[in-house]
Chains A and B, each alone.
Chain A
């Protein structure tokens, strides 16, 4: 299909990409600005980055965010894979429609509703079972896991659907138990999808403000929560520097995930 691309079409698309990327590129540029003023360029400096690493509150929030992201991504990959196997391999069963719906619901639900619902769940569990005993890192991680599981399940399922089921069947015919066949045949074939799902679940958790705000307790502030409370006080070059680090880290992780997903299946 060879099209004479009109100048009009091209200019709309160039505008679209500029619109999508210029704000973040400007934010990155101004994180190296010497001045405290965020919109006047006075000279190149890295002192806002140095200030970040001297801020114990930020470092503690960063450590907490990374720990929550790693743990919730791990849980999300395990549960998302189970959900994907159920939907891709079990065929039909009673309640399949409801299962598929609940599995995908967190993908589209406005975060503010999910956040409130999960908080109320944790409060109700606390009152009836005495668990999770207050709110903090654990409840934030569970909330992130809930949403990330839905994403992980979509990623793993598309890989499972593309995988020839006769490989697993051959292993079963040769006497492997389903569990052995899964770990020796399926997992080696779909591992790039598992790794990509983990990476993307990790970035979801690292980026989240709304779910964490609802499900956090006193003393547990993630990086986005710290950024949000200082953003409310106004734009500052130090926040630009912190945002730059986060944006670059996420870009590297997403790039790696995309590369894994593009690899040919063997």
Chain B
């Protein structure tokens, strides 16, 4: 039986090692190389030209550049701040939604839930693209507001930090609602009844019973929004302007435009190092990586 177990384990383990572990080791290695005009565009870390033992050619120059150049530090800080603000927005909007879904009758619950699951699987590119026509200077929102007589000149909404924040809340709202719902729906209704019987008002019961018991869902949802949002590329690229260059935009620029793969790798390693804490926390919150 042990032989069979080993056989069953071998294929997925080999796959995970090759596609989920080794690639990150390669990113870390290449972040130590230098960028050159060649194919591929980075220097080998081991120099064999001297004969005998190879010489080590790696260095931390890329990381030095990241620290010295305010552009990268700034983009990293803006990405984390934007992800945090987006998480807060998604929590404020997502909690009431998850609460109402969890309290709904089973039939209505399935419909409400499906209406959150559907955007989860719809291409983010298309969902974000849809906002351009709404937020543009001659877009639907400005037309609506001026038709209502609320504004005289169009508001500059698109290509602003506000648009990026809005896009993150919009794009990642389902990631917040689904784990929150999963926690809220498992809450024992007897607890709230007991609180009411003991003279607790609904608002107090919510603050003292429901909210504390739903904290695992709040944590899982917040991490599920924060982690991908910190590395989000499409939303700032389509809705942001020159003053909302986030870390993923710089990575994209370094990789595709400047072809500086080592610097892009160093940016990836830095972002991953900042996210490894939240990622481990999330894995623990959800239990065994499920």
Query: Are A117 and B26 within 8 A (Cβ)?
Result: yes
Interface membership of B241, Cβ < 8 A:
no
Q: Given B26, B30, B115, B170, which contacts A17 in the complex, CB threshold below 8 Å?
A: B115
CB-contacts of B163-193 with A (<8 A): 170, 173-174, 189, 192-193
**Chain A CB within 8 A of B261 CB:** yes
Q: Which of B50-58, B67-75, B145-153, B268-276 contacts A (4 or more CB under 8 A)?
A: B268-276
Closest to A108 in B: B227
Q: Tell me if B252 counts as interface (CB < 8 A to partner A).
A: yes
Nearest CB on B from A173, distance (A): 14
- Give the A interface residue count (CB, 8 A): 86
A24-B122, A113-B231, A146-B19 are contacts. A178–B129 as well, Cβ < 8 Å? no
Q: Given the complex, which residues of B lie within 8 Å of A124, measured CB to CB?
A: 26
A185 interface residue per 8 A CB criterion: no
Q: Which residue from chain B places its CB closest to the CB of A243 in the assembled complex?
A: B126
Q: Once bound together, how far apart are the Cα atoms of A79 and B19, in whole Å?
A: 12
Instruction: Determine if A227 is an interface residue (Cβ-Cβ < 8 Å).
Output: yes
Contact mask for chain A residues 61-90; partner B; CB cutoff 8 A; 1 contact, 0 none: 000000000000000000100110111001
**B5 engages A116 (CB within 8 Å):** no
The answer to the question of A110 belonging to the interface, with a C-beta cut-off of 8 Å to chain B, is yes
Given contacts A4-B202, A39-B139, contact A26 B134 (CB under 8 A): yes
B15 engages A86 (CB within 8 Å): no
State the Cβ distance, A118 to closest chain B Cβ, in Å: 5
Which of the residues A110, A145, A206 comes within 8 Å of B228, measured between beta carbons? A110
Q: Is B20 an interface residue (CB 8 A)?
A: yes
Contact of B173 among A5, A16, A24 (CB under 8 A): A16
Task: Enumerate chain B residues within 8 angstroms of A127, measured Cβ to Cβ.
Answer: 40
Contact A17 B97 (CB under 8 A): yes
**A102: Cβ under 8 A from any B Cβ:** yes
Contact A104 B129 (CB under 8 A): no
Known A-B contacts A38-B133, A243-B129; A20 and B119 likewise in contact (beta carbons under 8 Å): yes
Q: With A12-B93, A200-B121, A231-B238 in contact, is A120–B133 under 8 Å at CB?
A: no
Q: How far is the CA of A5 from the CA of B9 in the complex (A)?
A: 51
Complexed CA–CA distance, A80 and B264 (Å): 30
**Interface digits, A1-44 against B, CB 8 Å rule (1 contact, 0 not)?**
10111000110110111011101101100100000001100000
Segment at the B interface, from A50-58, A162-170, A187-195, A247-255: A247-255
B interface, over-half SS: helix
Contact assessment for A23 and B283 in the assembled complex, using a CB-CB cutoff below 8 Å: no
**Bound state CA distance, A101 and B290, in angstroms?**
9
- In the bound complex, CA of A153 to CA of B213 (Å): 28
B21 surroundings in chain A (CB, below 8 A): 102
Neighbouring A residues of B118 by C-beta, 8 Å: 251, 254-255
CA distance A4 to B192 in the complex (A): 13
Q: Is the CB of B264 within 8 A of A99?
A: no
Number of interface residues of B (CB under 8 A): 89
Contact of B27 among A1, A13, A86, A116 (CB under 8 A): A116
**A27-B133, A103-B289, A112-B252 are contacts. A19–B121 as well, Cβ < 8 Å?**
no
| Complex alpha-carbon distance, A254 and B121, angstroms | 7
Q: Are B233 and A13 in contact (CB under 8 A)?
A: no
Residues of A within 8 A of B99 (CB): 9
User: Given A87-B288, A258-B114, does the pair A111, B233 have CB atoms closer than 8 Å?
Assistant: yes
B272 and A113 contact, CB distance less than 8 A? yes
By Cβ-Cβ distance, the 7 closest A-B pairs, closest first, are A110-B231, A104-B289, A117-B23, A207-B123, A23-B130, A1-B189, A100-B289
B residues lining the A interface (CB < 8 Å): 4-5, 8-9, 11-13, 15-24, 26-27, 30, 40, 93-94, 96-97, 99-100, 103, 110, 112, 114-119, 121-127, 129-134, 136, 138-140, 143, 170, 173-174, 189, 192-193, 202, 223-224, 227-228, 230-234, 238, 248, 251-252, 255-256, 261, 264-265, 268, 271-272, 275, 279, 282-283, 288-290
Besides A9-B100, A102-B21, A120-B30, 15 more A-B contacts (Cβ < 8 Å) are A19-B173, A21-B115, A26-B140, A100-B283, A100-B290, A104-B289, A109-B227, A112-B252, A117-B24, A117-B268, A158-B290, A209-B234, A214-B255, A235-B129, A251-B118
**Residue contacts A-B, CB under 8 angstroms, 6 given:** A5-B103, A99-B16, A101-B283, A113-B272, A116-B255, A224-B123
